[in-house]
Amino acid sequence: MIRPIYLYGSEVLRQKAAPADLSDREHITELVRDLWDTLAKADGCGLAAPQIGVSERVLVVDGRGLEDVYDYLKDFTRVMINPTVLEASEQTCEYSEGCLSVPGIYSDVVRPSRITVEYWDENLERKVEEFDKFACRMVQHEMSHLDGVLFTDLVAPIRKKILGRKLQNISRGKVGTSYNSKIK
């Protein structure tokens, strides 16, 4: 089911999400399906459960739409339930990020260039995987949502000040999206 995407200013985006209950397979299956359906309709590359109003540690990433720029993402999709970063490189990299919950805003964010993550997949199998390049960026961006952190929290202070008016407008509902969205 396609759900509305919660926008900047919504309380659920600032909460630390609770671990998903791995014993409730039916709920997890439905939540993952809703995340995929909503992401496809919004034409994004990742979505975390808090962005659809569910404060649980579940996310999906899909790099297939970026394969023209990053050919290694040709078949890259992941469902990550209760992900935890086990290791992050000291080396960092900077990419421009955007977010379905912060429409129309893009800014450079510095993050570790490589991470190792433990998570459970859609079959509830435990995985440990290392990510680098833009796949690493997508995973980190979505994992930040699980901790109530938006990419705009990580930009340089002067940039955040410059974005202030646009962020206020989003939180007041003064923004248009091509997908179903809400502020709550």
Catalytic positions are 142
The Cα 57–Cα 49 span in angstroms is 7
Q: CA nearest 99: which of 64, 54, 59, 69?
A: 59
- Strand ranges, E, within the chain: 5-6, 46-48, 58-62, 77-88, 92-99, 102-112, 114-120, 126-132, 181-182
The Cα 65–Cα 123 span in angstroms is 24
Contact indicator for 55, 15 with CB cutoff of 8 Å: yes
